[in-house]
């Protein structure tokens, strides 16, 4: 599949997303500022990790003063009234960094904003997603219903059998019907950004690259954002962004940690590794996975999605 576009083309919002937990129309309430950072990821692909990295680079200190989700809210999620979320963002005087799980075709695009898209091997993302869904407090659904006029429908329960769940999940990739949960669709989400990776205000970052060279990737992100960090600060900032440190500070770093979303906040940060899928997926699942990847994605995108930038020679158009 060809994900190329005319190099002169710019992204534009093409779709409306009304998911059971989010609405992309909430973005219309926020007036953009030059330099705004939008952290764009499919579910369980390093969102909170990138939020923490941005916080460390913006504030240039190893510990933030409050809740990460207060500094960097998930704007499209129905966790709080949109007017409250926007008011909090409008009051910020620092460079803003906001989280979204909306694909690029559902976002308003601004040439003076910065977009960081984080990808991950879909097989690992699925494992993390299964763990994540088990940790959600069912009572949180009522909070989301309070923040929309739509009647929310709970998502279909995933099969108890792990491999059956994976086959169903990967087979549904890149569907466009209204009931399909696109934020969980790693292939569709990353495919929406891939044709625009050459743009100077879009940066593609891979979960595996953060694992293998956190220092190098943080410096790359800082360069993209135009943030200068004194050399003597780098060691403590990088240490603060490690998975172990984030798990130890889950009460302040996990999203919606004070809104009763999680059964166990510390379990929001699962394992922080890659390759977990090798222990659980069988030949049938992997054959189906390869078939879907080859049918739905261009080879360079599929290669980057599985291996990242450091382990591949895929052109990301980096500045």
| Mean pLDDT by groups of 10 residues along the chain of 319 residues | 66 93 95 97 92 97 91 93 96 97 97 97 90 64 88 81 93 90 92 97 96 97 98 97 85 62 50 74 95 97 95 75
Q: What is the pLDDT of residue 153?
A: 83
Residue 63 resides in a domain = yes
Residue 253's contacts (CB-CB under 8 Å, 6 or more residues apart) are 48, 52, 68, 246, 269
Residue 251 resides in a domain = yes
Distances (CA, A) of 114 to 95, 162, 196, 231: 11, 37, 13, 24
Residue 252 resides in a domain = yes
Q: What is the pLDDT of residue 258?
A: 46
Active site residues: 101
Number of domains in the chain: 1
Residue 287 resides in a domain = yes
Q: What is the pLDDT of residue 198?
A: 96
Residue 174 resides in a domain = yes
Residue 171 resides in a domain = yes
Residue 318 resides in a domain = no
100: domain range?
24-307
Domain of residue 56, CATH code: 3.40.50.300
Cβ density class 156-178: b for 16+ within 10 Å, e for less? eebeeeeeebbbebbebbbeeee
Report yes or no: 204 and 197 within 8 Å, Cβ to Cβ. yes
Angle formed by the axes of helices 162-171 and 283-296, nearest 10°: 10
């Amino acid at each position: 599949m060809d994900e190329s576009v005319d190099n002169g083309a710019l992204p534009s919002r093409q779709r409306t997303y009304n998911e059971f937990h989010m609405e992309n129309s909430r973005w219309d309430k926020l007036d953009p500022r030059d330099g705004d950072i939008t952290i764009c990821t499919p579910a369980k692909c390093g969102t909170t990790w990138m939020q923490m990295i941005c916080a460390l680079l913006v504030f240039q200190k190893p510990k933030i003063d409050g809740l990460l989700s207060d500094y960097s809210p998930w704007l499209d999620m129905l966790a709080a009234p949109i007017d409250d979320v926007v008011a909090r963002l409008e009051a910020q005087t620092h460079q803003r960094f906001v989280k979204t799980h909306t694909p690029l075709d559902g976002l308003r695009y601004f040439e003076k904003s910065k977009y960081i898209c984080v990808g991950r091997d879909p097989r690992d993302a699925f494992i993390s997603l299964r763990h994540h869904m088990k940790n959600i407090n069912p009572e949180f659904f009522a909070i989301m219903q309070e923040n929309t006029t739509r009647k929310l429908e709970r998502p279909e329960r995933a099969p108890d059998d792990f491999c059956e769940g994976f086959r169903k999940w990967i087979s549904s990739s890149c569907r466009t019907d209204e009931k399909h949960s696109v934020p969980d669709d790693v292939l569709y989400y990353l495919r929406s950004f891939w044709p625009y990776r050459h743009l100077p205000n879009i940066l593609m970052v891979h979960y595996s690259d953060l694992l293998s060279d956190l220092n190098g990737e943080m410096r790359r992100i800082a360069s993209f954002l135009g943030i200068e960090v004194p050399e003597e600060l780098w060691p403590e900032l990088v240490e603060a962004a490690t998975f172990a440190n984030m798990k130890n500070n889950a009460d302040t770093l996990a999203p919606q940690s004070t809104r009763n979303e999680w059964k166990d906040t510390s379990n929001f940060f699962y394992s922080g590794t890659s390759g977990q899928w090798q222990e659980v997926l069988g030949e049938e699942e992997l054959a189906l996975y390869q078939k879907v990847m080859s049918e739905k994605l261009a080879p360079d995108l599929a290669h980057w999605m599985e291996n990242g930038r450091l382990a591949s020679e895929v052109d990301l158009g980096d500045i």
